[in-house]
Amino acid sequence: MKKIYILHENTPWIEPLRAALTERSADFEEWHLSEGKLDLAEAPPKGVFYNRMSASSHTRGHTFAPEYTAAVLSWLELHERRVLNGRRALQLEVSKVEQYTALQAHGIRYPSTIATVGRDALLESAARFDGPFITKHNRAGKGLGVKLFRSTAALEAYVEGPEFEESRDGITLLQQYIEAPEPFITRVEFVGGEFTYAVRVDTSQGFELCPADVCQIDDAACPVGESPRRAAFEVIDGFDSPLLDPYQRLLAANDIHVAAFEFIVDAEGRAYTYDLNTNTNYNGEAERLAGVSNMGRLADYMIAELQRI
């Protein structure tokens, strides 16, 4: 009997979706892919498979969950199962470089970025930046490796010091620092490849860019400032932007069904998109105040997809 399958490695993030599916009496099952076994001689069950794998899985002790998920997705796609956020979505989730090249392919501005492997390459590349720059991990999530530097000397002290940590995949990014005149960023949500709403995220007390209610301070992505505190999330009424069309085209071209883009606007009014989340979460309080529910919309979308097969 066909059903909905949720592929993930972080149970707390799934609870709101579980509640939405249960409320709709949907038949679903969770596959926790932190470990397991896959018999390639067998055929997968029939249904709709939703990939919710996270780039930060290794911080929860699930080091090889993305690799295992890639194997499962390959198996599912071989058997022509309906997969939401398939292998290409996973590639973008676990690699900032993949995200930025996809953005560039669709004419979407992003901060100037150099990908480096090795400390020497990292230090040499810093000379390319005229102003402040940040480091970040290529395989990131949770703001891993994100630090602000105003000189190559400061970067060298960090790289040669005990606090330096390499990305899970060995690629460290150097990126142009975008300073916004107002302390907020914008997060743009899509479900089923369609725009749902945008959220204004107050960053005056630092960045907490995981909107899920279960996210704690140690999940923060804070490129600058003091110790991060929980940011305020507000659904923007009547949001519109010239970015919506290229965002939607990027998702369609990469077979991504559920995602969120994050962008920041500089003093000249230029928008820079710096992140794409394919395992996006939603802030319950912001949705309640706006009278919307993306988890409800996602549940309805998956149920409709299940009815089509």
Same domain, 64 and 200: no
Same domain, 49 and 185: no
Torsion angle of alpha carbons 299, 303, 305, 307, nearest 10°?
A: -170
Query: What percent of the chain lies above the pLDDT cut of 90?
Result: 81
User: Among the listed ranges 83-92, 120-129, 209-218, which one has the minimum average pLDDT value?
Assistant: 209-218
pLDDT over 70 at 146, yes or no: yes
Task: State the residue range of the domain holding 263.
Answer: 95-109+179-293
Same domain, 155 and 26: no
Tokens 């001689």 belong to which residue? 41
**CATH number of the domain residue 143 falls in:** 3.30.1490
pLDDT at 59: 86
pLDDT over 60 at 53, yes or no: yes
- Examine residue 298 and state whether it is found in any structural domain, yes or no: no
Mean pLDDT of 236-265: 97
Same domain, 81 and 8: yes
Same domain, 201 and 53: no
pLDDT at 145: 74
Could you read off the pLDDT of 58-111 as tens digits, one per residue? 889 999 999 999 999 999 999 999 999 999 999 999 999 999 999 999 999 999
Mean pLDDT of 16-45: 97
Same domain, 32 and 120: no
- Examine residue 155 and state whether it is found in any structural domain, yes or no: yes
Closest CA to 303 of 15, 19, 25, 13: 25
When pLDDT is cut at 50, 70 and 90, the band that residue 222 belongs to is very low
The whole-angstrom separation of Cα 92 and Cα 88 is: 6
The most confident of the ranges 118-132, 201-215, 227-241 is 118-132
Radius of gyration of the chain (CA): 19
pLDDT over 60 at 158, yes or no: yes
- Examine residue 243 and state whether it is found in any structural domain, yes or no: yes
When pLDDT is cut at 50, 70 and 90, the band that residue 142 belongs to is low
Same domain, 43 and 101: no
Same domain, 232 and 105: yes
pLDDT at 232: 81
Q: Are strands 184-191 and 258-265 parallel, antiparallel or unpaired?
A: antiparallel
Same domain, 67 and 79: yes
Mean pLDDT of 288-292: 96
Number of structural domains the chain divides into = 3
Higher-pLDDT residue of 207, 131 = 131
- Measured CA angle at 61 (ends 60, 66), to 5 deg: 85
- Examine residue 248 and state whether it is found in any structural domain, yes or no: yes
When pLDDT is cut at 50, 70 and 90, the band that residue 291 belongs to is very high
pLDDT at 261: 98
pLDDT at 211: 54
